Amino acid sequence: MIPTDPVVTGLQVIAEPEDIVVISAVDADEDHLRLLDDALRQDVPGTAGWQWDPGDFREETFGR
């Protein structure tokens, strides 16, 4: 597990810019989230052309 507590990591908690809204993946539009993940993977070596199957994405993202 990767610690995220600022006391443990030494990282300061700062507020996001006013024009940025942070939401849970559960509250995001699932198709938009899947397409964003597909796009981000294009910058990861070895994943060029990767596209999630919608059912697999749902299971991997929300199934656990």
pLDDT tens-place string over residues 9-56: 888 878 889 999 889 999 999 999 999 999 999 999 999 898 999 999
pTM for the predicted model, two decimal places: 0.67
Q: Tell me, what's the pLDDT at 37?
A: 95
Instruction: Establish if 2 belongs to a structural domain.
Output: no
Asked if residues 21 and 44 have their Cβ atoms less than 8 Å apart, the reply is no
Instruction: Establish if 10 belongs to a structural domain.
Output: no
Tokens of 31: 């198709």
Instruction: Establish if 9 belongs to a structural domain.
Output: no
Number of domains in the chain: 1
Instruction: Establish if 8 belongs to a structural domain.
Output: no
Asked if residues 52 and 38 have their Cβ atoms less than 8 Å apart, the reply is yes
Instruction: Establish if 4 belongs to a structural domain.
Output: no
